[in-house]
Amino acid sequence: MTLKLVAVVARGRNGVIGVANGLPWRLSSDLKRYKARTWGKPMIMGRRTFESIGRPLPGRESVVLTRDPHFRAEGVHVAASLAEALATARRLTALLGVDEIIIAGGEEIYRAFLDLTDVIELTEVALDIAGDAHFPALDPKDWREIAREAPPRGPKDEADFAFVTLERRRGQGA
C-alpha cells in the first residue's frame, strides 16, 4: 500500500485560506466534502488550526504539530516536529487501515509539508477576501489538475466554488 499525503484546503482567488484563526466564508457544501474526504484518516494540523476547530473531529485522528512543549488536548496526538507528526500519522494509517495522511492546515503546516504532498484537494472559492493566512503559491510545473467539479451553490453557501484535485507531477517529463 503506497502512502499518500493529501492536503485538503479551501482557498480564495487571492490565496487566502483564513482570517483571525477562522474561515473567511461559510460553505456548507465544502464542509460536507471535507468531512467525507477526511473521514477515517489521520490529519496533521497546527495548534492554531486545532484551537480554531475547538475539539478533535469525530471519525478522524488528529495529530497536532506545535512548538509549545506544554500543549495538551484530550483526544489528539501531539507532535513537536514534522518528523514526529509524520511518524505518528504513519503509525495511525497502519492502525486504521488507510493509505492517506491528510494535511489539514494552517498556512505554516501546508508550507512545511508542500514538498512531500502528493495530492491537493482544493476548494477554489470565488472570492477575493482579506485574510491573514494564505495557501502557498503552486508552481504549475509541479502540479497537474486531474479533476474539477463546479457544483451549484447551495442555500448555505456564501460564494460559488469549484472542487479541484491536483496531483504532483513525478518523474520524467514532469
pLDDT at 107: 97
pTM equals: 0.94
pLDDT at 173: 44
Dihedral pair phi/psi, residue 48, rounded to 5°? -65, -40
Choosing among 3.50.50.60, 3.40.50.740, 3.40.50.720, 3.40.430.10, the CATH entry for 4-137 is: 3.40.430.10
pLDDT at 50: 97
pLDDT at 1: 66
| pLDDT per residue of the chain (174 residues) written in tens, 0 to 9 | 689 999 999 999 999 999 999 999 999 999 999 999 999 999 999 999 999 999 999 999 999 999 999 999 999 999 999 999 999 999 999 999 999 999 999 999 999 999 999 999 999 999 999 999 999 999 999 999 999 999 999 999 999 999 999 999 986 444
C-alpha cell recorded at residue 174: 514532469
Q: Which of 103, 23, 32, 123 is nearest to 62 (CA)?
A: 103
C-alpha cell recorded at residue 82: 514534522
- Look up residue 116 and give its DSSP letter: G
Q: Which of 171, 153, 173 is nearest to 163 (CA)?
A: 153
pLDDT at 5: 98
